[in-house]
Amino acid sequence: MLQVRDGAGEMLGVLFDRYQTPLFNFYSKLTGDRTLSEDLVQEVFLRILKYRQSYRPGTPFRAWVYQIARNARIDHFRKFPRERAFEPEMLPPVVPTDSAQEHQEAELLHRALLQLPEDKREILLLCRFQELKYEEIAKLLGCELNTVRTRIHRALQELRKSFHQLTEATLKQANAAAPENLPPRGGRHEV
Amino acid sequence: MKCEQISELLPDYLQGGLSPDQHHTVEAHLQQCVDCSEEVAVWRKLSLLPVEQPSPMSRVRFEAMLQAYQAGRSNEPASGPSWKKRPSSWNFFHWLRSPFGAAAWSAALLVIGVFAGFRMAGPKPLSPDIAEIQKELASTKQLVVLSMLQQQSASARLEGVSWSTREQQLNPQVLSALLHTLRYDPSVDVRLAALDALSRHSTQPQVRNSVVNALQEQQSPLVQVALIDQLVEWHDREAKPHLEKLRQSQDLNPAVRQRADWAISKLN
């Protein structure tokens, strides 16, 4: 009996090791909430255990997992509606530093992503980070392949705009805060 | 080309799914169009976002969930009719997370364990609950094997093949996945492992046929030799004409031909 129990644990453990980080990142980038993301990852594995009979062999396993992941999140927010939507304004301002430009860009991009409407954010995450093919995403979202392409394009357009605005705002702030760092302009040449 | 037309191609460009012609068209457009090229730049910059790691507690919670789920299933019949009203495993898991729940559950487990121990001490046929758990376990195993055989990395597929050997009886879907691996997997190691796993199921006519057919299809001498050895081990006399055909094929590795000759003499 114990052997049976340990055996099943070991096997689901293999799947857990493989998928927990990608799933966690999917949720955390989607919701911006680490604790909730961890809860949802647990829920996904419970559902894998419960509904494993519903997996049809021969279909992509990854897509099946993300189907479960989407449903888990939808069910969660149905049960516990959000009191208020996530507002990026709640985050502390990004402090520009030359030494960590890449870090700063990542931070701004993360915020730009969080500013997107959820459906746009989700589709970008699915194709960029979860490495799902467009056909798989179309099936997952229940829409046409061309619709997926259009949505990705629109999401990316919007992301670019937000990112652009955020970058400009940060630059302005930096210039206002440190005018002494600006190069001198129109200085007189004295001979 | 206009941005509108390019935008239809852009998503496939980003995932590298365009034909070389279309790819060049998009690249040429990107050289001139700031908006579109910025869009591509933002897509690429998304890789800057760090991969976040879940906390180590996540694994602990997973183990607890698994135990609760399995304890919930295995204790149900043993606990008798007085335990009919049991919470569902999900509520159960939430409950288990509280310290009170943990303590209560440990005590309950102990009582149930002792109770079950007494009940199961006497000679008794395999109870339906154990059969049910074994069935569930088999289906989980199947899920793991099937998912792993689809992985990108050869070592993961190799692991998948080795998982399949833990089962005495192969499920038809796992069997067909293994046969597919034997024929088409790009890695020689994985194909060899699949052959090894399949060799345990020689009673299935499908397996023998696939091994015989693979003789003509496989190009790698290592796999060819392994296939020949397998046929000899099975004393498969019907394979003889196929071996003859193999040894006559051109460009055959001399070592493989020698092995085929040896196998034909063995099968006589």
Would you state the pLDDT for residue A113? 92
Chain A 62-101, residues with CB within 8 Å of chain B CB atoms: none
B39 touches chain A (CB under 8 A): yes
pLDDT in tens, B199-248: 888 888 888 888 888 888 888 888 898 999 988 888 888 888 888 988 88
% of chain B exceeding 90 in pLDDT: 8
Q: Which residue of A has its CA nearest to B60?
A: A42
* CB-defined contacts A:B, below 8 A: 151
pLDDT in tens, A131-147: 888 999 999 999 999 99
Residue from the list B8, B46, B66 with its beta carbon closest to the beta carbon of A9: B66
Residue from the list B39, B52, B70 with its beta carbon closest to the beta carbon of A24: B52
Residue A99: pLDDT over 60: no
**CB–CB contact B15 A127 (8 Å):** yes
CATH 1.10.10.10 given to domain A101-177 = yes
Residue A5: pLDDT over 60: no
CB A109 within 8 A of CB B46: yes
Would you state the pLDDT for residue A163? 92
A42 touches chain B (CB under 8 A): yes
CATH-assigned architecture of domain A7-83: Orthogonal Bundle (1.10)
Please state the domain extents for chain B: 3-44, 172-267
B67 touches chain A (CB under 8 A): yes
Reported as a pLDDT band with limits 50, 70 and 90, residue A187 is: very low
Please state the domain extents for chain A: 7-83, 101-177
**CB–CB contact A28 B52 (8 Å):** yes
**CB–CB contact A20 B54 (8 Å):** yes
